[in-house]
Amino acid sequence: MPIPHITSTANPTLVSALEHAINSKTKPLGSLGMLETLARQIGLIQQSTQLALRQPAIIVFAADHGVVAEGISAYPQSVTWQMVENFLGNGAAINVFARQSDCALYIVDAGVNHDFGPRDGLLDRKQGPGTRNFAKEPAMSEEQCLAAMQAGMDLVATLDGNVLGFGEMGIGNTTAAAALMHKLTRTPVADCVGAGTGLSKEGILHKQQVIEVAVAHHAAVNAPLDVLATFGGFEIAMMAGAMLKAAERRMILLIDGFIVSSALLVAARLQPAILDYCVFSHCSDENGHRQLLASLGARPLLQLDLRLGEGTGSALALPLLHAAVNFMREMATFASAQVSEKSTPD
């Protein structure tokens, strides 16, 4: 499977043009703060000063994890498929927020341990009934990992829009994400592990110990794709592939919380320039996410203490993308408004 080559968005000439367009608006310099930074980033992604958002979409990838056999979750594995049913029934938080943001929502069975059968609204990309228990053996074979990544790439290739948000669902996937973070950033396991679906202090310590034992068991695994296959999940691998394809197509990538960021971490180890295309929606309340964002050089748009996943942060941040685009498209300039730059308030 060829890894898409991601081109950096760096373009000094375009940066100057975007700065001029932003600074010509009827406002004090820099007064729109991060919205100005966001407008510059979108312009560089789209290679234009004429910004536009087309058919924004969020994809929620769902899969199960064999490591739940180690008792690392406050909820049973069956909650994964039950939540997928909730997504299909339009009853989850992501359904509410996607509707609110006028955003298309796609639900993908990447590897849930449940037979849904043919269902309207469910994209069947099942790679298997969940991964294996990485405390005992690699979660995926190399072939399974690459197939999941390719499925994510193929899915993105069918989309028409230029904004793509990422979400996930999978009992046990904070454990997988913490293991990926530890292996790829060398952050101590204790700093990567959090409450997930609501573990007690004792449960968090147990999760930490499970990861530490697993990491020692797979000590020779270090290359990004090998780390992904050993500790990841089908949904994480599929997201990593989807992100790489989306960046290759010069789409804006809306990054959600801890698990989505762990998929991006893998993708960024393969193609560092992918980070140019990423808008980080929020800093999760899940322990480790702040440090993971720091390792990616990210500055999130929101701080809402979320730790739900599902792509909820992506949906909530989408209106800020619209604001950044709309002020560039609709706000008057000093010249058009015949206002002196010196007459604007400090």
Q: Which residues are catalytic?
A: 310
Query: Are 300 and 280 within 8 A, CB to CB?
Result: yes
Report the candidate in 277, 41, 78 with the shortest Cα–Cα distance to residue 166: 277
d(CA 330, CA 335): 14
Q: What is the DSSP letter of 275?
A: G
Start-end of H helices in the chain: 12-23, 34-46, 78-88, 93-100, 142-156, 173-185, 189-192, 201-217, 224-231, 234-248, 258-270, 289-295, 312-330, 334-337
d(CA 306, CA 309): 8
Query: Which run of H or of E encompasses 332?
Result: none
d(CA 261, CA 270): 14
Question: What is the DSSP pairing of strand 163-169 with strand 122-124?
Answer: unpaired
